[in-house]
Structure formats: C-alpha cells, structure tokens
Structure 1
Amino acid sequence: MPQDAPTAAPRGTTPPPVPLATRVAFGFGAVANGIKDNGFNYFLLLFYSQVVGLDARLVGVAIFVALLCDAISDPVVGTWSDNTRTRWGRRHPFMYAAALPLAISFWFLWNPPLGWSQTALFWYLLLLAVTIRTFMTFFEVPSSALTPELTQDYDQRSGLIALRYYFGWTGGNFMTVLSFGVIFPAFATAAIADGRFNPEAYSVYGLIGALLIFLSVMVCAAGTHSRIPQLMPPPPSRPGGLVRIIREVRETLGTRSFGALFIATIFGAIATGLAASLAFYLNIFFWRFSSEQIAMLTFGVFVSAILGGILAPAIGRRFGKRRGAILAGLVAFLGAPLPIVLRLLGILPSAAEAPWVFWVVALATIVDVGLIIAFQILATAMMADLVEQAELRTGRRSEGTFFAAISFIRKAVTGIGVTAASLVLGAAGLEAGLDPGQVPESVSLRLGAVYVPVILSLWMTMIAILSLYRLERADHEANLAALAARRRAP
C-alpha cells in the first residue's frame, strides 16, 4: 500500500519534470479503459446477440440506457474529485476504490447465465453495464484529470496524452488479437466449428480482461502516488451547495473553445459507437475475413498506436494542436471507408474471392487508425489547455470538471451510435445467429452501402465544428504568464 502523501505544494508552484516511470505508469492506466472499450464497442453486441441469443435491438437498448445512467456519474465524480480533501489528494482515493469492483463486474459481464429469458438477460446485461461504466468513471475521470496537473508545458501535455492513448489502444487491441489469434481458435469444437460463437471462449476473454484491468488501475494509481505533493490542492470550501456547484460548472465551461470541443465530441462519439460496433460485422460478413485474418488485421493496430503516438506530438509542434487535429482527422476519416466504397463500386472483390484484398484492407487500416489516434491525442490535449484559461477567468482549478464533461458526452451519445449500429444491421437484413457462409452477397453489400454515408456525414460534421476552437500555443503561454503574475501579486 502506498505511503501517506505529504501536504500538497502551494498553489501556483510549477510542477517538477515528470520522471519516465511516472509517465509510463500514468499512460498504462489507459489499458483498463482500452480493454473495457474494446469489449463494449467490438464484442458486446456480437456476443450477446449472436452467441447468447439476446435480440440485437434489446442489446442496443441496454447499452444505450447504461450509457445514459453512467453519463450522470461523470459530472458528479469530476466535480467531487475537484473538491475532495484527503491525505491522498483529490484524485487517488477514487482511483484506488475503483480497481476491484471494476474487475469483478467485467468478468461477470462475459459469463451470463445461459437459458434465461430475453427479459432476464436484458436486465442482467443492463445492470452489469451500468456497474462497469460507473466504476470506470471513478477511475478514468480523476486519472485523466491528472494530465494538466502533471505538466503545464504545451507540447509535453501532448506527449503525456500520447502515452495514454498508446497504452489504451494497445491494451484493447491486445485483447482482440488474443481473442482471434488464440482464444477463439482454441474453442473451435465439433459442435461449434467457429470459436467466435462458443460462449466458453468469452468466459476466458472476461477473466484475462478482468485481471489486466485490475493491474492497470493499480499501476496507474500507485505509480503516480508520489506526485500528490506537487498536484494542485482543492479550492477553499464555499457555501451554496448544489446551486453553487451548477453555477461554477457553467462559469468554468462557458467558452467558445470548450463549446466547439463539446459539440464536436457529440458527433465524434456517435460515429465512434457506430464504427466500433460494426467493425467486426464488416470484417466477418462484408469482407468475409477468417478469425486468423481478423487477428492479423487487428495486430496491425499495434503499429497504428506507435504511428499515432509519434505523429501527434510532431504534428502539434509543426501546426499547433487545432490545425494539426483537423489535418490528421480529414485524411483519416475520408480514407477509413475508402476500401468499402471501392468494393461497392466493384473495384475490390471480397477476401473470399481474392485473398490479396486482405492486405489492401490491412495497410489502409494501419495508416487510418494511426491518423485517428493522432487526431484523438491532439483533441484531448486541446481540452487540457482549457484548464488554465478557465482558472484565469474563474480563479478555480477544475480539471475534473473539464474531463468529466467530455467523458459525459462521449458516454451519453456513444450509445446512440451503438443503437444505430443495431438498426443498420436490421436494415441490411442480417439476422441473429447466421453463419457468415449463410449471408447472401446482397446483404453484405447493403451493410456497406448504409454504413459509409452515415459514418462520413458524422465525421465531417465533427471536423467542421472543431475548427471553431480558438486556443493556440501563444494563447496558452499568455495564460500561464498571466496566472504566474497573479500568483506573485501580494
């Protein structure tokens, strides 16, 4: 157990350089959310609808309702952690408390009772989805709020967030590669020839994921514990209760730049939920990839994570975060659905007809996902830079409030994307329980034809709104200088 932390440094003290071990521990914390997102975005709809037998529409509704319930916890935890006073600082008590219940509930999610009615399975899924997302909020919001406290430097923040995204993507991607490359093939039996549809495979997936989630949370909390004395202390206690909290949140977030990020995140979260939920459906039913091919395709995301982590800081230094994010986003989001469009036009066949198509899709995926990761890193760093702007206006440090606001909207509207994915499956005529070989070509093509225009319209709207963000490097440095002068004033 970590030792008690000394008293926090006086407000305004410039944080010392962050040691490499601390940076790695901070980044490794994203493995937990990466595994959770991997499971919820990629496997949950497939598992509960195609393996367990729960109607896909009920799965979509359960995920959507759970997201709405969970979204309520984000602003609560964000504001709570901003104002918490303990010997372990503002953030760490929440992080430590989340580890065990988060891991246990994740395991139960992938071990539902078989033979239950549709109604019972729906409530089982809903209860566990709410539990997991709530405890993830207790970890993710406070730990993400550490970013602007660990360093004030414009470029170093991008580097910290790059580590966070690298571990988040590689952690989630590790589970996908492990599943398609090892777990699913190992559970292919005479009765269930394709291990992707064997419920026992998902029990193993849940156990490994739960253990890694627990390890990730504890490494992040313990590895950043020594920085507690250098973190910002909570503001003085103020009277006013709920009315005061609501007023302060409105004051903190009431800027054009935050509004642009907030609304852009709405469209981005819907697109992410839609794309993630249909990713394996497209790979299995549209491209006709085998489990081994999907494992290889997903393995390429490890390369993408490295590519994105390298590109984001470089692009930010060269173009600034806003322009860099827009540039990376335009290339990534226009290129991502291009292979699907080429197949719809008859230029690319399916992988079953021409094995070389797999390598075209794999290369395109590596580059596009790398650019998407770079975009996400820069957009998150843009949020971190708003903290000092708000402190200059309000006199309060509100890191938790900022990161909770974005987490809130991502969770609230990603459910719309997941629900939309279930509607797309229905529109394409893809029925539950079908083997890929039983799906007609017309259904596969209809799936791609519906998906492409919807996802493109969401992504391009997000980029257009993001362009309204106005905080650049010079503005951030001016804010730091103004805050330093204010703190030196008698």
Structure 2
Amino acid sequence: MPLRGKLGFNMKLSFGVGQAAEGFFGAAYGTFLIFYYNQVLGMPGTLAGAAVGIALVVDAFTDPLAGSLSDHWNSRHGRRHPFMYASILPLMLSFYFLFFPLVTSDLGLFVWLVVFSNATRTSMSLYHVPHIALGAEMSEDYDERSKLVGYRMFFANVGVLLTFALGFGYFFLPTPEFANGQLNAASYPPFAILLAVLMGITIFWSGWGTRAAIPHLPTVPAAPRLGLGRVLLRVLVDIAAAMRSRSFRWLFLGVLIVFVMVGVNGGLDLYIFTYFWELDRVSLLTVILAYPVGVMLGSFFCPAFFNRFGKKAGLMFGACSWPLWQTLPIVARLLDWFPENGDPMLVVLLVAIKVVQGACTVQANVAFGSMVADIVDEHEYETGHRQEGIFFAASSFSAKATSGIGNVIAGIALDIISWPRGAHIRTAADVPPETLVNLGLVYGPIVAAFGFVSVWCYTHYRLTRERHAEILDVLAERRAGAPTQALAASPAGSG
C-alpha cells in the first residue's frame, strides 16, 4: 500500500531523475521542432502545425490508454515499471528519426512528421503516464507528495536546461556557412541522437532506482487478458469515472488552458529571441536558460509556500505569474519603455524577468501534480477504486498539449502574420517591421490573456488539507479491516 511517512533521498532522487527525460523531450519538441521543419526545411507553418496536431489527437487516446493499462496491470514488477522499461528503445529510435527526415518535399515532410511525431509521443506516453502515477503511489503524505513533485519539476528543468545548453552551446554554434547556427540542418540529427541516449539513461535510472518500492505499492488481482475491444471499453469507463470528479474537471480544464498558452510561446521562442530581440548566440542561450534556472530555484520554496498558503493558492499564484511576466517585456518594448536591441541592459532585464517568472510559475507546476495525487485518494474514497494512471494520463495529456495544440496554433499564427520562411531569413532586417510587431502581439498579450482564464477554473477546486487528512484516515481504516487492493472491483489485465 502507499506509504504515509517519509521517503528516502535516493528513492526521491531516482523518481525525480526520470522526469529529465520529459524535459529533454519537451524542450526539443516544443522549441526546435516547428522551427526546424518550417524555417530550416522550408515546410509551411500551417502544414507543420497540422502534422503535430494529428499527433495530439492520437495522444488524446494513447495517454488514457497507457494510464488505464498500467492501472490494471498485474506482474511481479508492479503496475508501472514494466511500461517504463518498455518505452526506452522505441522512444530513442523514434525521437532520432523525428529530426532526421529522409524526404524533402512538403508532402513527404508532412507524412514523415506525422508518423514520427506520433511514434515519439506514443512512446513517451508509455513511459511518462506510469512514471507520474508512480509518484502518487509512493506516498500518501500530503506534504511528501509536494516534495516528490518538486523533485520531478527540478529534474524536468535540468533536462530543459541541458537541452538548451547542448543545443545553443554546442550543436548550433555559428559556422562560416551559417552565422545563425539554428539554421544549419546538419546539426539536428546528432543533437537528436544525444538527447535520445540521455532520455534512455534517465528512464532506466528512474525505474531501477525505484524498484525497491514495488512491494509496497498497490496491486491488482490477476485476471485473464482482455481483448482489444474490452480494453478500449475499459479505458472509456475509466475516463468517465475520472471526469465525475468536480475538482478534477476544473483542475484539468484550467491547466489545459495554461499549457496550450505556454505551448504557443514555446513554438515561437526562437522567432522572438532571434528576430524580435535580435539576440546573439550567447545572449539567446543566457536568456533561454534563465527560465529553467528560475524553476529549479523556485522548486525549493514550494513546500514552505504550500505549508503557509496551501496548494490551491500556489496553483493560482503561479498561473497568474506566467502570463504577467511573459507579457511585460513585450508590451514595454512596443511602448518604447524597454532598452533597444543591442543594449547590454536588454539581456540583463530579460534574464531577470525569466528567472522570476520561472521561480513563480513552478509553484503552480508542483501544486498541480500534488493536487492530482490528492484527488486520486478522494476518488478511491468515493468509489473504492485506485486509478492513479487514468488521472495522471490527463496530466500527461495536458502537459504534452503544450507542444501539440500550442505548436498547431503557433504554426497557424506564423502564416496569418505572413512570416517569411526559409534559411535566407537570417536577421530582423529580412522581416517587415509590421510583421515583427504582430509577432510580439501574438507572443505577448494575445496569448497570455488566456492564462488569467485558468485562474477562474482553479477557484472551483474544493479539496483542502483537512479534508484530505479525513479521507486518508477512512482509507486506512478500510485497509486495516480488509486489505484493499487497487481497483479490486474492476477487471484486470495481466502482464
């Protein structure tokens, strides 16, 4: 059964390290993919966005499928670990080929992007959903869960930081042929190889390092394997059961809005930094790394913040902070209240803003993960079924919507503002001034406005620390009277 006490450092470290794989994946997919296919390979932005959007539709199914399958899995290696290990090889191979297309036509690139985007994201679902569900199983303690999510967020941003550091600090260095190294198509395949290897290492580390927890985790009774039709029906039943939770519905909707908004900006980051701010390679790397550094610093303050103000307050604070700090420099520049491009103070201010933005926003990231784990307990209290996988599948889906729906919208937005494409567009001088202004408006106030809508969604969350403690006491009494197995009343698959 889940532990209510403290977890050892090595256990929390191993669990957290696994999130670095998602950090590598998310940073490369969200920041480099659209830029690579659109600006480097010359594929139309709308077409690139549509290809990624198709993968998102598939994700809408594969995430809950991975969650439901792992919820009902029975094996001597537990419910989650078999899926984590099984994801390693397909994820590494598909991620590499995503950045190594063997075709050149627009149609060929579109098909290639659809196929390998789907393969990569499905492989990540196979790992990521069971991994984050594992965190809710490892501890029932209200505060310990926040620490686990804090470890997860810390290493997610280690992955992000390393991705950007390796990309801009090594692979995308200027060459005699490419003053802007991001436009060098030959740099992307080796970049993808290294990230794929790092993802494989961190996933294996996380699985192997948390294997000692398996005997203490919820199990399901052995049952005959189900046919495909029964499995799909069970997924739909599990989703419907999760969505009956009022708190979860509002939490999911609010976070989905935020992640889509963040995804649009992630798809436009290189355009903003390269053409709107005209940052050189060193300045661009410094500004991009500032945000994950801020997140890593802010993650240390999450437990104290939640103890003082509560998880819901942390979620709302972070949700307000991201659009506020995202919009501030753009609006200030459009009003001529910000240093000119090339002024040393420009980079100083952008770095400071990104650090503060990251430190504030991580409060929402950690709060969300911890609150979903608490909702799982509430769901077990109300139904007798323990379904971490299906709830965290929604979390995974909303997070990957960052690079899915967001990239679709980013690609469409580039076409709407008539953004010129091709490797010959090297500086801001190659872009019409009004197009740069429109880029700033999309990246800043237009997209960020949706962030404040999410705050209204979070006001409907009702599960407090006191209520959660009452739920855990009831669950403990049930287990003491008759040991409760996860999903004991549901049909199970075996593995």
How far apart, CA to CA, are the structure 2 residues paired with 1:207 and 1:178? 12
Equivalent position of 2:350 in the other structure: 361
1:63-462 aligned within 5 A: 63-113=52-102, 116-185=104-173, 188-234=174-220, 237=223, 243=233, 246-352=236-342, 354-411=343-400, 415-433=404-422, 434-436=425-427, 437-462=429-454
Equivalent position of 1:8 in the other structure: none
Q: Does the Cα contact within 8 Å between 2:136 and 2:388 map onto a contact in 1?
A: yes
Residue 129 of structure 1: how far off its partner (Å): 0.5
Equivalent position of 1:6 in the other structure: none
Could you say what secondary structure the match of 1:191 adopts? coil
Deviates more, 1:140-149 or 1:105-114: 105-114
Q: Does the Cα contact within 8 Å between 1:29 and 1:216 map onto a contact in 2?
A: yes
Deviates more, 1:309-318 or 1:411-420: 411-420
How far apart, CA to CA, are the structure 2 residues paired with 1:244 and 1:35? 32
Q: Does the Cα contact within 8 Å between 2:71 and 2:387 map onto a contact in 1?
A: yes
How far apart, CA to CA, are the structure 2 residues paired with 1:63 and 1:349? 36
Residue 444 of structure 1: how far off its partner (Å): 1.5
How far apart, CA to CA, are the structure 2 residues paired with 1:367 and 1:13? 35
What is the letter of the counterpart of residue 327 of structure 1?
F
Residue 298 of structure 1: how far off its partner (Å): 2.2
What is the letter of the counterpart of residue 368 of structure 1?
Q
| Cα gap change, 1:100 to 1:120, in 2 (>3 Å) | same
How far apart, CA to CA, are the structure 1 residues paired with 2:277 and 2:463? 42
| Cα gap change, 1:431 to 1:85, in 2 (>3 Å) | same
Per-residue CA shift, 1:126-148, capped at 9, x if unaligned? Answer: 11110010010010000100111
How far apart, CA to CA, are the structure 2 residues paired with 1:425 and 1:248? 38
Q: Does the Cα contact within 8 Å between 2:64 and 2:239 map onto a contact in 1?
A: no
Q: Does the Cα contact within 8 Å between 2:72 and 2:79 map onto a contact in 1?
A: yes
How far apart, CA to CA, are the structure 2 residues paired with 1:214 and 1:339? 38
Q: Which residue of 463, 469, 476 corresponds with 1:484?
A: 476
| Cα gap change, 1:299 to 1:450, in 2 (>3 Å) | closer
What is the letter of the counterpart of residue 310 of structure 1?
F
Could you say what secondary structure the match of 1:280 adopts? helix
How far apart, CA to CA, are the structure 2 residues paired with 1:203 and 1:331? 36
Residue 251 of structure 1: how far off its partner (Å): 2.7
Residue 241 of structure 1: how far off its partner (Å): 6.2
Could you say what secondary structure the match of 1:145 adopts? helix
Residue 235 of structure 1: how far off its partner (Å): 5.4
Could you say what secondary structure the match of 2:212 adopts? helix
1:2-13 aligned within 5 A: 12=1
| Cα gap change, 1:248 to 1:135, in 2 (>3 Å) | closer
What is the letter of the counterpart of residue 163 of structure 1?
Y
How far apart, CA to CA, are the structure 2 residues paired with 1:473 and 1:75? 28
Equivalent position of 2:466 in the other structure: 474
How far apart, CA to CA, are the structure 2 residues paired with 1:248 and 1:422? 34
Q: Does the Cα contact within 8 Å between 1:158 and 1:312 map onto a contact in 2?
A: yes
Q: How high is the sequence identity, in percent, across the aligned residues? A: 32
Q: Does the Cα contact within 8 Å between 1:266 and 1:410 map onto a contact in 2?
A: yes
Residue 253 of structure 1: how far off its partner (Å): 3.4
Equivalent position of 2:487 in the other structure: none
Could you say what secondary structure the match of 1:385 adopts? helix
Could you say what secondary structure the match of 1:146 adopts? helix
Q: Does the Cα contact within 8 Å between 2:29 and 2:403 map onto a contact in 1?
A: no
Could you say what secondary structure the match of 1:337 adopts? helix
Unaligned runs of 5+ in 2: 483-495
How far apart, CA to CA, are the structure 1 residues paired with 2:329 and 2:383? 49
| Cα gap change, 1:330 to 1:413, in 2 (>3 Å) | closer
1:36-51 aligned within 5 A: 36-51=25-40
Could you say what secondary structure the match of 1:431 adopts? coil
What is the letter of the counterpart of residue 473 of structure 1?
R
Unaligned runs of 5+ in 1: 1-11
What is the letter of the counterpart of residue 443 of structure 2?
Y
Per-residue CA shift, 1:429-462, capped at 9, x if unaligned? Answer: 3211211241233321221123323222210111
| Cα gap change, 1:251 to 1:399, in 2 (>3 Å) | same
| Cα gap change, 1:335 to 1:489, in 2 (>3 Å) | same
How well do the aligned residues superpose, as a CA RMSD in angstroms? 1.9
Q: Does the Cα contact within 8 Å between 1:21 and 1:223 map onto a contact in 2?
A: yes
How far apart, CA to CA, are the structure 2 residues paired with 1:408 and 1:370? 24
Residue 413 of structure 1: how far off its partner (Å): 7.3
| Cα gap change, 1:393 to 1:215, in 2 (>3 Å) | same
Per-residue CA shift, 1:132-171, capped at 9, x if unaligned? Answer: 1001001000010011111111111111101101111121
Deviates more, 1:195-204 or 1:243-252: 243-252
What is the letter of the counterpart of residue 446 of structure 2?
V
| TM-score computed with the length of structure 2 as normaliser | 0.91
| TM-score computed with the length of structure 1 as normaliser | 0.92
Residue 244 of structure 1: how far off its partner (Å): 5.4
Residue 329 of structure 1: how far off its partner (Å): 2.4
Equivalent position of 1:5 in the other structure: none
Residue 364 of structure 1: how far off its partner (Å): 0.4
How far apart, CA to CA, are the structure 2 residues paired with 1:175 and 1:451? 22
Number of matched pairs: 475
How far apart, CA to CA, are the structure 1 residues paired with 2:291 and 2:420? 29
| Cα gap change, 1:242 to 1:278, in 2 (>3 Å) | closer
| Cα gap change, 1:310 to 1:13, in 2 (>3 Å) | closer
